[in-house]
A = this chain, B = another copy of it.
Amino acid sequence: MDFGPARNSTLHTVDRWRKDGIYPLFPVITEAATTRARIRQQRSMHPGDAHTGDHPVSVFGSADYLGLARHPEVVEGAVEAARRFGTGTYAIQAVGGYTELHEALEEATAAWFGLPSALLFPTGMQANLGVLDSLAGPRDLVFTDRFNHQSIAMGVRLSGAGAHVFGHNDPEHLEKLLQQTLREGHTGRRLIMVDGLFSADGDIAPLVQIADLAERYNALLVVDEAHSAGALGPHGRGAAELLGVLDRVDVLTGTFSKAFASTGGFACAGPDIVHLFRHTANTYLLSLGLPPASVGAALAALTVLAREGTERRRRLDDNAQALRAGLREAGIGTAGSAAHVVVVPVGTMDRTARVARRLAERGLLVGPLLHPVVPAGGGRLRLGVCAEHTTDDLTHAVHLISAVLADEGGQR
């Protein structure tokens, strides 16, 4: 079938990887511990394509940054919730799908961030879609970093608002766009939305400058802390806390599916804005709430982190610094990586696929970042550091990346 040029080209690339034996996607996890797994690599996802047998890998492709996904208290939180409230909620939250556990997790989430109110979305993606669709409309403008997570661009499209895309972490460009729209006499609402920690780049948004601009130009500031909530800042409140501007953020979105060891999304804001989302955001109102097990796991994770968060964040930061230093010493660049998401530029899509495939074959599971998530030619490996990685894990990862890149003629 003809699916249009962009999609045809993606499918053509996938097909070439299959023929060349370098399809790097959808390894099947057959066993999993926090930083260890067994995987079966696939020739491709075509039915009938033979698998290889499974083999052990060291996991560096995970967003379980604080290492809680198999913590006994977190697992028991999930188990108890499923036993108490069943395996789903079976009604939208407004009419019978909102349990005491959901209420408790809303309160615990708001309390975690020290913000007035919170509500839970079924996924982080639906949180971003809902926030944008509720706060912005065709008369409004959204100013968005060009490397923001794709869910933000999708939310802008859904909302019908005008999109103004500024250069990555470039507040000067943002200010030019804000000035330009003022000169053009725009009178609707203005929103600025950025990722706190960029998941495909590993760098942190210049939130001080951006908060200044939001104030100066009377724009609402929305920060997606998906990869930073729990993991960055003195209390694990994210990039905005780390940079001292959390009280200047109007809406904070995020997910329980990374440092908080569960699944699902959330938005925190003042009571009026949360009230708005609760009664008008389609991705909240018209999609089922989180299953009890996910709510129970997230609640338990917040409890564990209230006790062990500081220590786990310290280990995460130590590991991230050690990994970046180890790669640097091995002559491997990590672009702008500044925290626990460490990015290794590789080059073309085929080269990135091949390197990721070879790494997995040799025992290291990392995420290849491919077009259209990153620009064509900007293929990279994405390493998610975990507080539970040992020094040996880090050394092993650097060694393997170094060896596989050398086989490929070095880093590009």
Contact = CB atoms under 8 A, between A and B. Distances in A.
A93 to B, nearest CB: 7
B87 A373 contact: no
Given A10-B280, A257-B90, A287-B124, A368 B95 contact: yes
Interface residues of A, number: 103
A45 B280 CA distance: 13
B75 A28 contact: no
Interface residues of A, dominant DSSP: mixed
Contacts of A225: none
A288 B149 contact: no
A240 to B, nearest CB: 21
Copies in the complex: 2
A96 B27 contact: yes
A24 B87 CA distance: 25
Interface of A: 1, 3-4, 7, 10-11, 14, 24-30, 32, 37, 45-47, 59, 61-64, 68-70, 74-75, 77-79, 82-83, 85-100, 103, 116-117, 122-126, 134-135, 137, 139, 149-151, 154, 157-158, 160, 255-258, 261-263, 271-273, 275-276, 278-280, 282-283, 286-288, 290-291, 293-294, 297, 301, 356, 365-368, 373, 382, 384
For the complex of A and B, list the 6 residue pairs with the smallest distance between their C-beta atoms, beginning with the closest.
A87-B297, A95-B367, A69-B86, A293-B293, A61-B96, A64-B90
